Amino acid sequence: MSTTMIKSRQTEKEINGVRTQVVCTEFSNYIFIVLTQYGKIGTLVSVTPESQSNDVSMPMFSTKVLMGKDEPLTHVCAKNLATCVSQEAGNRPVLLGLALKDSSIEAVKLMRDLIKSCQVW
Amino acid sequence: MSGAQQGGAFDAIAVHNFCEKISEQVIHFHVMKMNGGFFLWVGSSPTLSNLAVSMNSKFDAMPLSMLLMGDKSETAPNSLAQRLAKKTKKQVFVSYNLPVVNTNLALQVEDRIKKEMGNHPEHF
């Protein structure tokens, strides 16, 4: 009896001097990513690819804050971090837990790389 | 360590998996322990079909609970999250991916979780 049905990977790195943790978990219908500088889930955002007929190569994404700070920057960060994950994971939606002290563009770029290093999809 | 100076003095997120055969089916459990709370997924196939969150409030004896994802008519994720939040005094996220018609199964699942909490409190 295998104890692991759910595949997950995690890593940790200092980004601009702030300890940053990532845990990526694969579900058949979702990729769940926790990206945190506080050690907790924080704001929970779902990033879903929209089915669009006119251009298949450039899908649109909709973001919805399920819990926490529903402000424009949350949506921008979530899209920035999760879009390529969703595309690589066969257009699966991404559930993203974000608890960031630093949401500068430089930091977000480094976080995107950190997420990629925990690829489970 | 500069991480600690930045207020990052918390443990790394820890993942713990276990499983149990209950009523002739193998049920899998996946726990992610975080700072001040945990995420618990329960299921027999690797889907994420709902998500509930619960935490204690000083204004009510019963923890507050809310369904973040999934079918609002399903009460199992909410009530499990609520009972685990009451037991642990932590913020609890629960995803319950088993047929809800079987209430006996739900009780056995909850007992199994509580047993794991008793044997391995460090994972929650």
Query: Closest by alpha carbon to A100, among A43, A46, A49, A57?
Result: A43
pLDDT of B64 reads 97
Q: Taking CB atoms and an 8 Å limit, are B48 and A29 in contact across chains?
A: yes
The predicted-structure confidence for B78-109, as pLDDT tens digits, reads as follows: 999 999 999 999 999 999 999 988 789 999 99
Cβ contacts of A2 on chain B, cutoff 8 Å: 19
pLDDT of B4 reads 43
Q: Taking CB atoms and an 8 Å limit, are A37 and B3 in contact across chains?
A: no
For the residues A39-43, what does the mean pLDDT come to?
96
pLDDT of B6 reads 46
**CA gap A105, A64 in Å, rounded:** 21
Q: Quote the pTM value.
A: 0.93
Q: Could you tell me the pLDDT band of residue A59, with boundaries at 50, 70 and 90?
A: confident
* DSSP character string of B63-86: EEEEEEES-TT--HHHHHHHHHHH
Q: Taking CB atoms and an 8 Å limit, are A21 and B12 in contact across chains?
A: yes
For the residues A3-28, what does the mean pLDDT come to?
95
Q: How many CB atoms lie within 10 A of CB A69?
A: 11
The predicted-structure confidence for B26-79, as pLDDT tens digits, reads as follows: 999 999 999 999 999 999 999 999 999 999 999 999 999 999 999 999 999 999
Residue A93 clears pLDDT 50, i.e. is over it = yes
Residue A1 clears pLDDT 70, i.e. is over it = no
Interface test with B, best of A40, A70, A95, A114 (most B CBs within 10 A): A40
pLDDT of A53 reads 55
Residue A55 clears pLDDT 70, i.e. is over it = no
Residue of chain A whose Cα is closest to the Cα of B66: A67
Q: Could you tell me the pLDDT band of residue B2, with boundaries at 50, 70 and 90?
A: very low
pLDDT of B3 reads 40
**CA gap A44, A47 in Å, rounded:** 10
Interface test with B, best of A10, A24, A27, A38 (most B CBs within 10 A): A27
Q: Could you tell me the pLDDT band of residue A51, with boundaries at 50, 70 and 90?
A: confident
